[in-house]
Structure 1
Amino acid sequence: MIIDTLKILFNRDLKRLITEVEQYKIEADIWKIKGQVNNSAGNLCLHLIGNLNTYVGGELGYTGYVRKRELEFSLKNVPRQELIQMIENTIEMINKTLDSLDENILENEYPILVFDRKTSTGYLLVHLTTHLTYHLGQINYHRRLIEND
């Protein structure tokens, strides 16, 4: 049951992420920063894609994904359609991985140390949904802030 709920939440918010990226009237604005806003929407997208592909795909789905975290924040001007394709690929990976999991795995210790102490797989997956939502909100504010210039 919780795996189905997680799948619904990941799909909902990753589709909202696509909508946010699509709503930028000027594609270059996806990569703008302003004032004390240090991360562009594009870099936050790359960060979310890297984060989910690492902790869900790489560790639970055995995709072989190798994260290059520094590029998530330094890479610039990835075309909008490429970002959207990367998000769509992440949705596909999330669905495939979560569909392959048994509910009992949620109580198991997550395979790697992510925080200051070990957690269960279920805890980490719930954390990843809140992390996605947190940055999705930042992207929404970024878009509206940049467009109001």
Structure 2
Amino acid sequence: MLIETLKALFERDLDKLIHEIELYQNESNIWITDKEISNSGGNLCLHLMGNINTYIGATIGGTNYVRNRELEFSLKNIPRKDLLASIKETKQVVNLSLDKITAAQLNAEYPLLVLEKKTSMMFFLVHLTTHLSYHLGQINYHRRLLDF
């Protein structure tokens, strides 16, 4: 039951992320930073894709994804169509990866130490949904504040 809930939440919020990126009136505005806003909507999107593809795709799903976290925040001007394609690919990775998890694995320890202390797979997957939601809100705010 939890896996289906997680899949639904990831799908919902990744669909919202697609919508947010599509809503930028001017594609170049995706990459705007201003004053104390140090992360653009585009960089937050790249960060989310790196995070999900690392902790769900590579770690759980066994993909060959290799993360470069520094580039998530330094790359600029990636075309909107490429961001959207990455989000859509990530949605597939999430579903395929989460389908591999057994009930026993959910209660077992997540294989990587990411937070301050080891957690269960269940806890860490819920954490990832809240991380996605947090940055999705930042992207929404960024778009409404700086998309002119």
| TM-score normalised by structure 1 residue count | 0.98
CA distances 1:17-44 after superposition (whole Å, capped 9, x unpaired): 0000000000000000111010000000
Identity among equivalent pairs (%): 57
Deviations 1:76-121 (CA, angstroms, capped at 9, x unpaired): 0000000000000000000111112112211000001001111001
Q: Give the superposition deviation at 1:68.
A: 0.3
Structure 2 regions of 5+ residues with no counterpart?
none
Specify the code of the residue in structure 2 equivalent to 1:102. Answer: T
Find the counterpart in structure 2 of residue 60 from structure 1. 60
- Structure 1's unaligned 5+ residue stretches are none
Cα separation, 1, equivalents of 2:54 and 2:10:
15
2:116 aligned with 1:143, yes or no?
no
- Alignment correspondent of 1:104: 104
Question: How does 1:42-81 map onto structure 2 within 5 Å?
Answer: 42-81=42-81
Aligned to 2:22: 22
3-state secondary structure, aligned to 1:17: helix
Judge conservation of contact 1:108–1:121 (CA < 8 Å) in 2. Answer: yes
Shift of 1:63: 0.3
- State the aligned residue count: 148
1:31 lines up with 2:31 in the alignment: yes
DSSP-derived class of the 1:35 partner:
coil
The residue identity in structure 2 corresponding to 1:105 is Q
Mapped partners of 1:87, 1:37: distance in 2: 23
Distance 1:16 1:103 in 2: 28
- Other-structure match for 1:118: 118
- Native 8 Å contact 1:2 1:103 kept in 2: no
Counterpart residue type for residue 16 of structure 2: R
Deviation of the 1:55 alpha carbon: 0.3
Which whole-Å CA distance do the structure 2 matches of 1:95 and 1:118 have between them? 24
